[in-house]
Chains A and B, each alone.
Chain A
Amino acid sequence: MIEIEGLTKTFGSFQAVKGIDLTIAKGCVFGFVGPNGAGKSTTMSILATLAAPTSGTVKVGGFDVTQHPKEVRKRIGYMPDFFGVYDQFKTIEYLHFYGASYGIPKAEREELIPQLLELVNLSDKKDAYVDTLSRGMKQRLCLARCLVHDPDLLILDEPASGLDPRARIEMREILKELKAMGKTIIISSHILPELAEMVDEIGVIEHGSMVARGNISDIQSKLRVKRVLYVRLLDRLDEAESFLRDQPLVGRLLRDEQGIHVHYEGQDEEQAALLMGLISSGYRVVSFSEAQTNLEDVFLEITKGGENVV
């Protein structure tokens, strides 16, 4: 769906993108992660035909963005990191306008737009003026706007930024639905956990270069990032704590009332051995689980330095 080869972009003397290669297959949800100023938005606006690449080739659905921009535009739904709305429009007029701008006949729009509003949970706001919508609603409206011409590829630049947690969850639910619809999605964020659950692959970009890419779990194991295990015990917590401290690959320990958080550097094999060790030593383990993987740590690890990245 996307083929980027040796893409660079310079603003004056500043090189914002330094030779990115990236291919994204059809139907893939790709997370584009990197700190602010890394070059995510620049890359995405080139994909959206809004900026010309300085060098390199960028193709969407087989069409080169510089040679067939109109064909590319037909296939993409672009949601910029910052966008405005025409305040004087009602929600439904707003969608009709963009629908018409993509050449969709009125009769078709009449049928399509209520479905889109349904998808982004804005059906009850269809006659509200756009400037009365909350930020989260505007964000969802913009997402609906991206979908009016049923594009194959969605380019979403920080769609969850500036949203409160509830609005983020709503946004995530919608994106899951879109994924289920078979759309190819490239979605950026400067916060990795935000993407973790829904993306198939991530690419980490820093200072205009791709420093890591692949499947999330691949990247995690490549980096041998500490797992956080949570061990819940019926009793003898103090003894268990000192027992764990003496085991190999165990890092920091954190106690709460019922259990212990264990920062663990081992892989599955060692982890299984650790559990057996606990049980054979007579500790009454209620549960032994991987605590929510702290992807923030993964991200910090990745961007800290490239030496342990393949």
Chain B
Amino acid sequence: MSQIQAGGGLRHWRSKLINPVLDKEFRLRMRTSRAMWALFFYLFVIGAMTFGFIYIMTVMPSGSSNSFDPSQSRLMFYFICVVQLGLVAFMAPGLTAGVISGEREKQTLNLLLTTQQSSTTIILSKLFSSLSFMLLLVISTLPVYSVVFLYGGISPKQLLLVFLFFTFVMVVLGSLGILFSTLFKRTMVSVIVTYGATLFIFAGTGFLYLLMSQVMEMTQRNSGTGYNPADYGWIGHIAAWNPVAAMFSIFDDSITEQVFMTRGGSTPPPIALWQEFLLFYSAVAIIAIVMAIRYIRPRYKRSGNGKG
């Protein structure tokens, strides 16, 4: 079926873009029934949540009418985005935390490492193939968002931005998953550590922010000098590590101001939450990938004991 004679140029590009490891990852992933079940589960959760939401909103008498209006539609959009973000947080570690340790446990890793494929190719191909699959999951939920467009309240630009945001979160969690999968010999350990890190990123940072804002408020109120929330606005940087806060700052600028305690004041917030989120986690992802590449093969000492 795929024997159609493609142009020579196309084939050339294909061989450039698709290295053997990537090709293998794509093929093998789609041959397991796991891929199908993951897709099914993903769509089921997001579909069920959406319909549940619509049901509650239409059954509960909300003021004038019991039909949807744009503000409710926007609320629903936020809701679906949070569910989607939760699913991404759930799937990304599961799909990446075993990619290296799994091969090590199946005893195929050694064979792969003695080939001519570079550590960079192996790590990036593994990451890219997992991300492609996750992207497939996320894109397959697009029809759900069409409900939102039916009622308005959300611009296509916002939808595009939030999808880019999901992709970024997947890259970050995926890089961490691959790093732990490389560092830890056992998939079980790698999975637990990756979920732990994800939990910290999602819940830990939020908790830390709330805790710090309480602590700072108390100390500030008890200190002799005048109480000014802007003095401890720096704790907003903790909130910037939280994906949920960052996502909402894409929808609504005022969140950033609120978090940095600059609301109503004259000074603007130092940086939008999502911008800081992007900067911070780009660094995290890059470090994770570089470390994974370094640790997948033995590190030879760079001492000059070659002769002597």
Contacts of A78 in B (CB 8 A): 110-111, 114
Interface positions, chain B 1-55, Cβ under 8 Å from A, are 20-21, 23-24, 27-28, 31-32
- Contact between chains at B116 and A83 (CB < 8 Å): no
B266 at the interface (CB under 8 A from A): no
- Contact between chains at B116 and A50 (CB < 8 Å): no
- Contact between chains at B306 and A84 (CB < 8 Å): no
Number of interface residues of B (CB under 8 A): 27
- Which of B27, B115, B298 sits near A73, CB closer than 8 Å? B115
Give CA–CA (A131, B297) in the complex, Å.
Answer: 27
Give CA–CA (A55, B306) in the complex, Å.
Answer: 10
- Contact between chains at A80 and B306 (CB < 8 Å): no
Contacts of B28 in A (CB 8 A): 86, 88-89
Given known contacts A64-B306, A76-B114, A101-B116, is B107 in contact with A82 (CB within 8 Å)? yes
Contacts of A83 in B (CB 8 A): 107-108, 110-111
- Which of A45, A48, A69, A85 sits near B108, CB closer than 8 Å? A85
- Which of A51, A74, A80, A82 sits near B298, CB closer than 8 Å? A51
B20 shortest CB reach to chain A, Å: 4
- Contact between chains at B21 and A101 (CB < 8 Å): yes
Interface centre among A55, A73, A82 (most CB of B within 10 A): A73
- Which of B111, B117, B300 sits near A67, CB closer than 8 Å? B300
- Contact between chains at A102 and B108 (CB < 8 Å): no
- Which of B107, B299, B301 sits near A80, CB closer than 8 Å? B107
A70 at the interface (CB under 8 A from B): yes
A49 at the interface (CB under 8 A from B): yes
Give CA–CA (A142, B117) in the complex, Å.
Answer: 18
* A36-64 near B? 1/0 per residue, CB < 8 Å: 00000000010011111001010000001
Residue of A with least CB distance to B105: A84
Contacts of A149 in B (CB 8 A): 116
- Which of B20, B31, B32, B110 sits near A100, CB closer than 8 Å? B20
A227 at the interface (CB under 8 A from B): no
Residue of B with least CB distance to A72: B114
Contacts of B114 in A (CB 8 A): 48-50, 73, 76, 78
Given known contacts A50-B114, A80-B107, A102-B115, is B306 in contact with A57 (CB within 8 Å)? yes
- Contact between chains at B115 and A80 (CB < 8 Å): no
A263 at the interface (CB under 8 A from B): no
Taking beta carbons and an 8 Å cutoff, which residues of B are in contact with A?
Answer: 20-21, 23-24, 27-28, 31-32, 106-108, 110-118, 297-301, 305-306
**Closest 8 pairs (CB-CB, A-B):** A100-B20, A84-B107, A101-B115, A66-B300, A52-B298, A84-B106, A88-B31, A84-B108
Can you name 19 A-B pairs with beta carbons within 8 Å? A48-B110, A52-B300, A65-B300, A67-B300, A67-B306, A73-B116, A78-B111, A80-B111, A84-B106, A85-B108, A88-B27, A88-B32, A98-B111, A101-B20, A101-B21, A101-B116, A102-B115, A102-B116, A149-B116
Q: Given contact pairs A45-B110, A70-B116, enumerate 4 new A-B contacts (beta carbons under 8 Å).
A: A50-B114, A80-B111, A82-B107, A93-B27
